[in-house]
Chain A
Amino acid sequence: MKQVLQNQQKASADVGRRNFLRALAGAAGAVTALQVLDALEAAPEQVAESLVPQTVTEADETADVLIRMQADLARALKKQPSERRWVMVIDLRKCVGCHACTIACVAENKLPPGVVYRPVIEEEIGEYPNVTRRFIPRPCMQCENPPCVPVCPVHATYTNAEGVVEVNYEQCIGCRACLTACPYGARTSDFGYTYAEGTPNADGLILGRDAADEYERAPNFEYGRPWPREAHGSPMGNARKCHFCLHRVKEGLLPECVTTCIGRATLFGDANDPDSVVAQLIHRPNVIRLKEELGTQPRVYYIV
């Protein structure tokens, strides 16, 4: 009975929400919004088809940037790995400092406590009352001249054919030389913690320590293979860092932080493709890279 009531409540809430959105869309005269709405009412597979152009390789210039990047990605994946050059562009004018990308990355890569790939640094400019804030997401810069690579004593850190700096977890001895060498603090070491530590495991608790633990010990899929957290095996004890979500990219998906960014402030694509969104942006005069004076040649560009 209770269940039925809940279902009914949910159904009427759904209708209400839909009507509200319709009204909103109508008031704004946003036809596209209605199309999206209709698409949302369809089955999930239809949604995917109607939102993404039939051939994603041909998204037009006016399409949402996510769709354009999806098309850029599909085009890039048709090339040989050595012919593409992944870059990230972060538009600091659009970043609102919501930290959604940080959390999405934590979820995607199942990062344990103390491990972070993409913190958002907050910078305060000026003094009260003339004060403003700037938010600087900081993934791994995937440097073209990465200081973290030559210091690795066992070649566990290397640049792959697509220009992304990877860590071979099973090769890494955990010396943290690469953490010390990185000028961007972009690497963290995994000290083997889980979030479920300290969670009570009393009788009758649906989600006690065991259940939570089970989730945390389930594998993540970095570098395209499963990494369960068990018995101090990798990635515990290793250096870890952002890898542009290569496991997603390989499947034709954008990096998780790009998909999640509510302000469309993070962009991704193949800089070797002159038609890609990122290639068109990185040559603009208001683009900077962090600590350029070091000569590391980061592949992450910031629009200021």
Chain B
Amino acid sequence: MIKRIVYGLGALALLLGLYGFYSRLFIGEREVNYGSYVTWGLWVAMYLFFAGISTGAYMLATLDHLFNVRLFKGAGKYALWGALVTMPAALITIAFDLGHMERIWKVYLSPNFGAPMAQLVWGYTLFLVVIVVSLVLTLRRPQTLSTKVVMSIGLFLAIFLSGGVGALLSVNASRASWHAAMLPAQFPIFSLTSGVALLMTLLGWFTPDDETRQQRVRLLGLAMIVLILVKAYYLWVDYSVALYSGVPDTARAVELVLFGQYAWAFWGLQVALGMIVPLIVLVQPRLARSGFWAGLMGVLVLVGFAVARSNIIFPALAIPELEGLTEAFHGPHLNIDYAPSLMELSVVSGVVGLATLAYLIGVDALPFLKKYEVTK
């Protein structure tokens, strides 16, 4: 039943996305709201979001295929499949953000490896290959040394790439609220959290309701409680340091999130829906063992993460580099108040739809995913 609803929602999301895909591919970037001052918008935030889920899901796959955790035997392939469908979702969203996406090959042929972006492009390509190889190996030779070696490389890449998106932001010394070594250090934890959330949903909703599932989602739920608390601590550290320092640019970005134009999304979606509700539900053993509730909490945490990614990106860019710059000259895409356009939202909806359908079709059509086996 849940699967059918998710199929329907995925199809609807994709349908809503067709307009965005058409507009971006055939008209260009004219209907987007990001620009020359708020240089990166919803698509960059969603790229961070999807890439985080992918790398996080891979980290969890290692519970099965690298660390041999008995409880997660057989669950690794679902995590790997999740990683495989979310990484392209990340790459589509970021490709749409490029002014010249048809030139992406230049990053392969004449890369500047000193630039975090080039490192990431190469890293993701390698990572995609590693996910595919991991899947093949885990199916054919699950317990061999070669599988473990590949999974170890994958784990290292997953951590490096999740931290890399933090570096992409924190190298910008001109954006005070990003320019902290803490940022790349936090991102692998964020990725792990979104990986746990994804697996809660996948196992909770799309695997048979038996004792193993109850134990698995319960364990993931406990991990989630810890991770949400760690995330809350990071928020506190980031925001209190920024506000306490009194440096206006840092404080202003935080004030925009806490009390300004993005406050509703922060308090309503990121904190209440994405952190407090899951905490309340998951501390109750009965609910935490239920596949439905665990899956739903996974989705809520993911929604919270999507908003959190946005709240890292837009507010930091909404502070002009020079006072008075935004009033000095006017024209399209020279705004400082950013809210995603309908077309940007449509593209994201389409990508979510694509990833959702790809996951479900894989689970239903690919023989190795159809077969659900657990080790007692």
Q: Which residues of A contact B (CB under 8 A)?
A: 102, 113-116, 119-123, 136, 138, 147, 150-155, 171-177, 179-185, 187-193, 232, 234, 236-239, 290, 294
Contact = CB atoms under 8 A, between A and B. Distances in A.
Contacts of B106: 154, 171, 173
B39 A191 contact: no
B36 A173 contact: no
Contact of A138 (B28, B97, B121, B322): B322
A175 B117 contact: yes
6 contacts: A123-B324, A180-B175, A181-B174, A183-B174, A189-B99, A191-B35
B145 interface: no
A192 B30 contact: yes
5 A-B pairs with the lowest CB-CB distances in the bound complex, closest first: A174-B99, A237-B99, A183-B174, A119-B328, A114-B331
A154 B174 contact: no
A107 to B, nearest CB: 14
Contacts of B248: none
Contact of A114 (B98, B99, B327, B332): B332
Interface string B310-332: 00000001001111110111011
A238 B29 contact: no
B256 interface: no
Nearest to B117: A153
B36 A188 contact: yes
A153 B99 contact: no
B104 A115 contact: no
Interface string B93-104: 000011111011
Nearest to B119: A153
Given A150-B112, A154-B110, A189-B99, 5 more contacts: A115-B331, A147-B173, A152-B112, A174-B103, A237-B98
Contact of A189 (B35, B172, B325): B35
A147 B172 contact: yes
Contact of A116 (B103, B118, B331): B331
Nearest to B325: A185
B171 A174 contact: no
Given A113-B331, A174-B99, A237-B29, A189 B36 contact: yes
Given A150-B115, A173-B100, A294 B174 contact: yes
Nearest to B178: A180
B116 interface: yes
B333 interface: yes
Q: Which size bracket describes the interface of B in this complex?
A: 35 or more
A122 B324 contact: yes
Contacts of A122: 324, 327-328
B128 interface: no
A176 B39 contact: yes
Contact of B107 (A121, A154, A237, A290): A154
A17 B185 CA distance: 72
Contacts of A155: 110, 112
A236 B27 CA distance: 13
A179 to B, nearest CB: 4
B333 A114 contact: yes
B334 A183 contact: no
B8 interface: no
Nearest to B103: A173
B333 A191 contact: yes
Contacts of A175: 97-99, 117
B325 A121 contact: yes
B174 A147 contact: yes
Q: Of A119, A122, A182, which is in contact with the most chain B CB atoms at under 10 Å from its CB?
A: A119
Contact of B99 (A173, A183, A187): A173
A273 to B, nearest CB: 30
Interface in B81-126: 97-101, 103-104, 106-107, 110-112, 114-118, 121
B39 A189 contact: yes
B267 interface: no
B160 interface: no
A257 B40 CA distance: 30
Given A173-B104, A192-B30, A153 B118 contact: yes
Contacts of A115: 36, 331
Nearest to B113: A153
B317 A177 contact: no
B206 interface: no
A189 B333 contact: yes
Nearest to B32: A191
A294 B111 contact: no
B100 A174 contact: yes
Given A175-B97, A175-B98, A187 B36 contact: yes
A191 B174 contact: no
Given A113-B332, A187-B36, A182 B174 contact: yes
B37 interface: yes
A185 B322 contact: yes
A272 B125 CA distance: 46
Nearest to A112: B331
B45 to A, nearest CB: 13
A136 B121 CA distance: 39
Nearest to B115: A153
A166 B300 CA distance: 46
A181 B107 CA distance: 19
B303 to A, nearest CB: 26
A238 to B, nearest CB: 6
Contact of A184 (B121, B173, B322): B322
B172 A154 contact: no
A189 to B, nearest CB: 5
A237 B98 CA distance: 8
A176 B110 contact: no
Nearest to A169: B100
Contacts of B332: 113-114, 191, 193
Contact of A176 (B99, B118, B175, B323): B99
Nearest to B120: A153
A168 to B, nearest CB: 10
